[in-house]
Amino acid sequence: MARRWLFALLLAASTTVLGAEALPVSPDPELERRVMAIAEELRCLVCQNQTIADSHAELATDLKNQVRQMLKSGKTDREIKEFMVQRYGDFVLYRPPMKTTTWMLWVGPFLLLLGGLGILLFKLRLRTKRVVDEPMVTEQHARARVLLAPATNNQSTTESI
Amino acid sequence: MARYLLPLSIFIVLAGFLGYGLKLNPREVPSPLIDKPAPAFRVPQLHAADKTITPEDMRGKVWLLNVWASWCAACRQEHPLLVEFTRRNVVPIVGLSYKDRREDGLAWLKELGDPYVLSAFDLDGRVGIDYGVYSVPETFLIDKAGIIRHKHIGPLTPEALERTLLPKIRELSGA
C-alpha cells in the first residue's frame, strides 16, 4: 500500500516537472492546434517576453479561453487578433503591423546596417587613396634596398624587388 | 582632439537615450482605449447579486472605474487613498471586483472601508478583458459622454492623483 502511494506521489511529481506545455482543454485537436497557433502570436502582458501560449499567468489562460471560444463561434484568425489589438494595443502582437508609429522598428536595423556599410566603404576608399597618394622617391627605394639587403649570402635571392 | 569628438558625441547621444529609457516603465503599455467609448457591460453588483450595473448608469457624470481584487497586494496599498478621495467628494468611483470571490470582496470592503458608489462583480474577468486590464489595480477616468479619457496602471499614488488625475477631472467637469 505504502509503495503504491509512493509511486503515485512520484508520478505526480514527475508530471509537474514535465508539464511545461499547457494541457489541451478541448478534446478537438484541430481546434487546439488553431488556438495554440494564434496564442503563439500574442504577447502575454503580465510576463511581457512570453507568448500567451507559453505563459501560465492567469490572464494568459483567460485569453486562450477567449481565443478558443471565438474560434468555436466561427471567428477568423484575423478577427481574433483585431479583438486583442482593440483591447491591448499593437504591443499584444509579436509581429506588430507596419504603421507610421512602428516603421522605425521595422526599418531601423536595416538603416543602421546601411549606415555602417557606408562608413566602412568611405573609410576603405580613404585608406587606398592615402596609400596610392604617397609615391616612393628613388632615395627611399635605395634606402629600402639597403635595409632589406641580406645579412648572409644564401638570402641574396630576396634582394631583387 | 578632433578624432575623439565623434565617438564622444555618439557616446553622449547613446547615454541620453539610455538614461531616458531608464525612467520609462516597460510594464506600462499605453491603452488603445483612450478617447474611445468605455466598453459596455452588464454584470451583477457586488453587494446585491440580483441587481446589475452598466456604465450607462453613470452617463452624464465624470467618474472613475477602479479595477481591484482582494488577492491583489497593490490594491491594499492603494485603498486608503481611494477612501480618502471619496471623502473629498470630487467624483464618484465605481469599483470593479476583478476575478474575486464575492465574500472575499465584501469582507475586504467591510474591513478597509468602501469608497465606491457602486461595485460591479466581474467573476470570470470578461469585463477585464474588454477593458484591456492586465495588472490590477487599474483606474479609468471616464467623461460625461462615456468616453475613456485616462488610464492609470498600478496603484494610484498621491502624486499621480494630484498631478495627473485631478487636473484632468477638473478639465472634464468644467466642459
Best B124, B126, B127, B129 residue to mutate vs chain A (most A CBs within 10 Å): B129
Cβ–Cβ below 8 Å for A87 and B130: yes
Hunting for cell 483612450 — which residue is that?
B34
Residue A40, chain B, CB below 8 Å: the answer is no
CB B53 within 8 A of CB B42: yes
Percent of chain A with pLDDT over 70: 75
Contacts of A87 in chain B (CB under 8 A): 32-33, 129-132
The complex's ipTM works out to 0.83
Query: Helix/strand/coil (H, E, C) string of chain A?
Result: CHHHHHHHHHHHHHHHHHCCCCCCCCCCHHHHHHHHHHHCCEECCCCCCCECCCCCCHHHHHHHHHHHHHHHCCCCHHHHHHHHHHHHCHHHECCCCCCCCCHHHHHHHHHHHHHHHHHHHHHHHHHHHHHHHCCCCHHHHHHHHHHHCCCCHHHHHHHCC
Residues 6+ away with beta carbon under 8 Å from B128: A62, B67, B96, B98, B99, B122
One-letter amino acid identity for A69?
Q
Structural domains in chain A, sorted by start: 20-92 (1.10.8.640), 105-150 (no CATH)
pTM for the predicted model, two decimal places: 0.75
Give residue A24's identity as a one-letter amino acid code. P
In chain A, what residues touch B153 (CB-CB under 8 Å)? none
Joined together, the cell numbers standing for residue A130 give 592615402
Task: State whether A88 and B135 contact (CB < 8 Å).
Answer: no
- Chain B closest-CA separation from residue A59 CA (Å): 7
Residue of B3, B25, B29, B122 for testing the chain A interface, max A β-carbons within 10 Å: B29
pLDDT surpassing 50 at residue A17: no
Residue A153 in this model has a pLDDT that exceeds 60: no
Chain A residues inside the 8 Å CB shell of B128: 62
At which residue does the C-alpha cell 531608464 appear?
B22
Residues 6+ apart with CB under 8 A from A37: A77
Q: If we measure between CA atoms, which residue out of B14, B11, B32, B30 comes closest to residue B22?
A: B14
A66-72, long-range: CB < 8 A, 24+ apart:
A66/B129, A67/A35, A67/A38, A67/A39, A67/A42, A68/A25, A68/A26, A68/A31, A68/A35, A71/A31, A71/A34, A71/A35, A71/A38, A72/A31
**Interface residues on B facing A, Cβ-Cβ cutoff 8 A:** 26-27, 29-33, 99, 124-125, 128-132, 134-135
Quick one: cell of B85? 478621495
The pLDDT assigned to A6 comes to 60
Give B32's DSSP letter.
Answer: T
Residue-range domains of chain B with CATH: 38-174 (3.40.30.10)
What is the crossing angle of helices A58-72 and A77-88, to 10°? 140
* Cα nearest neighbour of B26 on chain A: A48
Q: Inform me whether the pLDDT recorded for A16 exceeds 90.
A: no
Tens digit of each residue's pLDDT, chain B (175 residues): 778 898 999 999 999 999 999 988 888 888 999 999 999 999 999 999 999 999 999 999 999 999 999 999 999 999 999 999 999 999 999 999 999 999 999 999 999 999 999 999 999 999 999 999 998 899 999 999 999 999 999 999 999 999 999 999 999 998 5
Pairing of the two strands B138-142 and B63-68: antiparallel
pLDDT tens-digit profile of A39-79?
999 999 888 889 999 998 999 999 999 999 999 999 999 99
Q: Are B129 and A91 in contact (CB < 8 Å)?
A: no
pLDDT (tens digit per residue) in A119-150: 999 999 988 877 766 677 788 888 888 888 87
Please report which confidence band the pLDDT of residue A19 belongs to, taking 50, 70 and 90 as the band edges. very low
Q: Which of B58, B50, B125 is nearest to B92 (CA)?
A: B58
